[in-house]
Amino acid sequence: MTAIEELYLPDNILDTLNGLCITQIVLSAIVVLMYCVLHIPIKVKSGLDVGLTMKEISLDVISDTMLWYYLWYLSFTIAGFAYPRYSNILILSILLLPILLLRYMFFPPLLLDIIAKNSTARNVLRSVTDRGLQLFLTFLLFIFVSYIYAFIIFFTFQDDFQTSSFNGYAREDCMTMWRCLVATLTYGITGPGGIGK
């Protein structure tokens, strides 16, 4: 138990968290084992039916992305649970110190497992990644239009922005063209009637 955990978490909650961590490790190990037992023989048989050599079949098995995904998932669950329980072993404590400090940082990426398990989530991700150029060009168009507004504000309404106050602090937003663009983007997104509302 780390000093931070001793300060903030009661023992019953720590025991529950450790139990959940162990359950997650066991279940992800079972998933890796089941994937290997079910998919590797099918890949070997289909490779032999096509006439591939064992070396080519082995490369196909090793390069399987889902196998690597499940191994990554298992390693993150283990890294999230692993921390030095035996502080009297100095070498073990020193080696595991980075994992001790980053222990809880391994759990949030495991939530992305929904992408591998749910076809709807995969389709949402695919719609964003497949249309990456269109999204980038839309963002670029937004920046250009904001720049046009910043340009007009900089040359015609610059004095109105000199002593604007935001949350009680005096600001000089349009002293330069760059600051005027940043102010236009900030107020345009977060201001009333903008994207943020």
Tell me phi and psi for residue 125, to 5 degrees. Answer: -65, -40
Confidence of residue 171 (pLDDT cuts 50, 70, 90): low
User: For tokens 């110190």, what's the residue?
Assistant: 97
Long-range contacts of 148-152 (CB under 8 A, 24+ apart): 149/184, 149/188, 150/177, 150/180, 150/181, 150/183, 150/184, 150/185, 151/177
DSSP three-state, residue 161: helix
Confidence of residue 84 (pLDDT cuts 50, 70, 90): very low
Per-residue confidence (pLDDT) for residue 38, from 0 to 100: 92
Confidence of residue 7 (pLDDT cuts 50, 70, 90): very low
Per-residue confidence (pLDDT) for residue 193, from 0 to 100: 67
User: For tokens 């349009």, what's the residue?
Assistant: 174
Q: What is the pTM of this model?
A: 0.57
pLDDT digits (tens, 9 = 90+) for 20-67: 888 988 999 999 999 999 999 999 999 999 998 999 999 999 999 989
Per-residue confidence (pLDDT) for residue 3, from 0 to 100: 46
For 28-46, b/e burial (b = at least 16 CB within 10 A) is: beeebeebeeeebeebbee
Average pLDDT over residues 125-135: 85
C-alpha span between 170 and 47 (Å, rounded): 71
Average pLDDT, the chain: 79
Quick one: angle between helices 11-50 and 65-81, nearest 10? 160
Q: How many residues does the chain have?
A: 197
Q: Say if CB 43 and CB 64 are below 8 A apart.
A: yes
Strand partners, 165: 170
Helices (H), the chain: 3-8, 11-50, 54-62, 65-81, 90-95, 97-101, 113-117, 119-130, 132-156, 177-190
C-alpha span between 21 and 79 (Å, rounded): 10
Per-residue confidence (pLDDT) for residue 97, from 0 to 100: 59
Tell me phi and psi for residue 171, to 5 degrees. Answer: -130, 150
Structure tokens at 21: 């961590």
Q: Say if CB 12 and CB 19 are below 8 A apart.
A: no
